Amino acid sequence: MAEIIGKGGVLVAGHVKAPVIMSTQGFNGVAAWTKPRNFEPGGQAICLDWQHEWNETDLAGKIICFPAETGSTHAPLPYIDLVRNQNGPVAVIVGNPDPLVAIGIFISKEWHGPSIPLIQFPTDELMKVLKDGDMIEILEDGTIQKA
C-alpha cells in the first residue's frame, strides 16, 4: 500500500505518477523557460535561470515543487506552452500559489485540452519526507503519496 504524505488543495485536478524535484527557492518560470535554448528541440523545459538551484536542470516529466512563483505578469506564458505541448513538468506542487501560474495551466486546459495537476501543499512538509528523484503520485482529490 502506498504511503500517504498528505492531501493538498486542488487548484487543477489530475492524476500523475512521476519523480519529484524540490526547491526551497521561489521559481520564476519566465526567467527559467524563455531563453533561446528553450526554443530548441528538447530544450523547452530546461531551467535556464542562473540564479536558481535548478539552473541547467531539465524539468520535463517531473513533478516540480517550490514555495512560490516569483517573477512577472508574463508567468502564464511558458506554462501555457509547456502544458499544451506536453513537454514540461507533469505537475506543480506549490506552497503559496500565484494566480498567474494557475492561469497559465487553466488556459492551456481550456484552449488546448492538455492539463497538469496544480496542488497547493506546504513544500517544507514534503521536504521532510521526500528527496529529489523520489517517485510520488498525485491523485485527483489532491492526495500526495509515495509511489
Give residue 117's pLDDT: 96
Give residue 45's pLDDT: 95
Tell me what the mean pLDDT of segment 14-34 comes to.
96
The Cβ of residue 39 has, within 10 Å, a number of other Cβ atoms equal to 11
Give residue 51's pLDDT: 95
Tell me what the mean pLDDT of segment 110-134 comes to.
94
Please state the pTM of the whole predicted model: 0.95
The residue written with cell numbers 500565484 in the block is 98
Domains within the chain, CATH numbers bracketed: 4-146 (3.50.30.10)
pLDDT band for position 42 (cuts 50, 70, 90): confident
Give residue 112's pLDDT: 87
Tallying the residues shown for the chain, one arrives at: 147
